[in-house]
A and B are shown apart, each in its own frame.
Chain A
Amino acid sequence: MMEVCGSSNVTLREFGCEQSLLSRPDGSASFVQGDTSVMAGVYGPAEVKVSKEIYDRATLEVLIQPKVGLPSVRERSQEQCVRETCEAALQLSLHPRSSLTLILQLLHDDGSLLSCYLNAACMALMDAGLPMNCLFCGVTCAINKEGEIITDPTAAQEKESRALMTFAIDSTERRVMMSSTKGSFSVHEMQRCIAVSQKASEKIFQFYRDSVRRRYSKTL
Chain B
Amino acid sequence: MVILLDPTAHLKLISWRSFDPLNERDLTESFIRVDPLVLRSARGRCRFLPVCRTYIAPADSSSSTRRSRCGTGGMFSCLKDKVGEVLVPGDEFSFQADDTISLSGPAKPEKVVCGPGLRRSGDRLLVSKSGVLRHKQPNVFWIDSQQRRYVPAKGETVIGIVTAKSGDVFKVDVGGSEQASLSYLAFEGATKRNRPNVQVGDLVFAQFIIANKDMEPELVCMDSSGRANGMGVFGGGGLLFTVSLGLVRRLLSPHNEVRADLEQLFPCELVVGMNGRVWTRASTVQQTLIIANLLQSCDTMTSQQRQQLFRRVQQGAL
- B136 in the interface, Cβ–Cβ < 8 Å? no
Whether A131 contacts B90 by the Cβ 8 Å rule is: no
Q: Is B280 an interface residue (CB 8 A)?
A: no
Q: Which residues of the partner chain A approach B8 to less than 8 Å between Cβ atoms?
A: 93
Please name 6 further chain A to chain B contacts, defined as beta carbons within 8 Å, in addition to the given A129-B129, A212-B88, sorted by A numbering: A88-B4, A126-B88, A126-B89, A129-B146, A130-B129, A131-B89
Q: Is the CB of A47 within 8 A of B178?
A: yes
Cα distance A99–B4 in the bound complex, in angstroms: 20
B1-36 residues with Cβ-Cβ distance < 8 A to A are 1-2, 4-5, 7-8, 11
Return chain A residues, CB-CB under 8 Å to B89.
89, 126, 131-135, 171
Among the listed stretches B103-111, B147-155, B190-198, which one makes contact with chain A, having 4 or more residues with CB under 8 Å of it?
Answer: B147-155
Q: Scoring A residues 56 to 96 as 1 if CB is less than 8 Å from chain B, else 0, what string do you get?
A: 00000000000000000000000000000000110101111
Contacts of B1 in A (CB 8 A): 175-177
A45-B130 Cα distance, complex, nearest whole Å? 17
Given the interface pairs A93-B7, A176-B1, the reply to whether A45 lies near B86 with Cβ below 8 Å is no
* Contact status B86-A213, CB under 8 Å: yes
Of A46, A91, A99, A212, which one neighbours B130 at CB under 8 angstroms?
A212
Q: Complex Cα distance A210/B302, Å? A: 18
B213 touches A94 (CB 8 A): yes
Residue of A nearest to B148 (CB): A26
| Cβ-defined contact, B151 with A133, below 8 A | no
Whether the Cβ atoms of A177 and B148 lie closer than 8 Å is no
Which residues of A are interface residues toward B (Cβ below 8 A)? Answer: 20, 26-27, 44-48, 88-89, 91, 93-99, 126-135, 170-172, 175-177, 208-209, 212-213, 215-216, 218-220
A175 to B3, CA, bound (A): 10
Q: Interface residue count for B (Cβ, 8 Å)?
A: 39
Check A88 against B90 for contact (C-beta < 8 Å).
no
B301 within 8 A of A: yes
A28 to B301, CA, bound (A): 19
Q: Is the interface of B mostly helix, strand, loop or mixed?
A: loop
B131 and A96 contacting across the interface, CB-CB below 8 Å: no
- The distance in angstroms between the C-alpha atoms of A95 and B150, with both chains bound, is 12
- Min CB–CB distance B293 → chain A (angstroms): 14
Nearest CB in chain A: distance from B18 CB, A: 14
Residues of B within 8 A of A (CB): 1-2, 4-5, 7-8, 11, 84, 86, 88-90, 92, 117, 119, 126, 128-132, 144-149, 151, 176-179, 213-214, 246, 250, 300-302
A102 to chain B, nearest CB (A): 13
Name the 10 nearest CB pairs between A and B, nearest first. Answer: A129-B147, A98-B177, A134-B90, A132-B89, A26-B149, A131-B128, A45-B177, A171-B90, A213-B86, A26-B148
Residues in chain B near residue A20, CB distance under 8 A? 146
* List of A residues within 8 angstroms of B144 by Cβ: 219
B8: nearest residue on chain A (CB-CB)?
A: A93
Shortest distance in angstroms between B250's beta carbon and chain A's nearest beta carbon? 8
Residues in B with CB closer than 8 Å to A126 are: 88-89, 130
- CB of A132 within 8 A of CB of B128, answer yes
Complex interface: chain B residues within 8 A of A26 (CB): 147-149
A97 CA to B117 CA in the complex, in Å?
21
A134 adjacent to B2 (CB under 8 Å):
yes
Complex CA distance for A180 and B250, rounded to whole angstroms: 44
Q: What would 19 A/B residue contacts be, using CB atoms closer than 8 Å?
A: A26-B149, A27-B148, A46-B149, A47-B177, A48-B177, A88-B4, A129-B129, A129-B130, A131-B117, A131-B119, A131-B129, A132-B89, A132-B128, A133-B128, A171-B88, A208-B88, A216-B86, A218-B301, A220-B86
Are A218 and B300 in touch, CB under 8 angstroms? yes
Nearest-neighbour CB distance to chain A for B261, whole angstroms, equals 15
Name the B residues within 8 Å of A131 (CB-CB): 89, 117, 119, 128-129
- The interface residues of chain B lying within 8 Å CB-to-CB of A89 are 2, 89
Closest chain-A Cβ to B12's Cβ sits at a distance in Å of 12
* Cα-based distance from A45 to B301 in the complex (angstroms): 27
**A88-B4, A170-B2, A176-B1 given; A95·B88 CB < 8 A:** no
In the complex, what's the smallest C-beta–C-beta distance from B253 to chain A, in angstroms? 12
Residues of B within 8 A of A133 (CB): 2, 4-5, 89-90, 126, 128
- CB neighbours (8 Å) of A96 from chain B are 213-214
B170 to chain A, nearest CB (A): 17
- How far does the alpha carbon of A44 sit from the alpha carbon of B150 in the complex, in Å? 9
* Complex Cα–Cα for A44 and B176 (A): 9
Which A residues touch B151, using CB under 8 A? 45, 95
Tell me the complex Cα distance, A213–B119, Å. Answer: 21
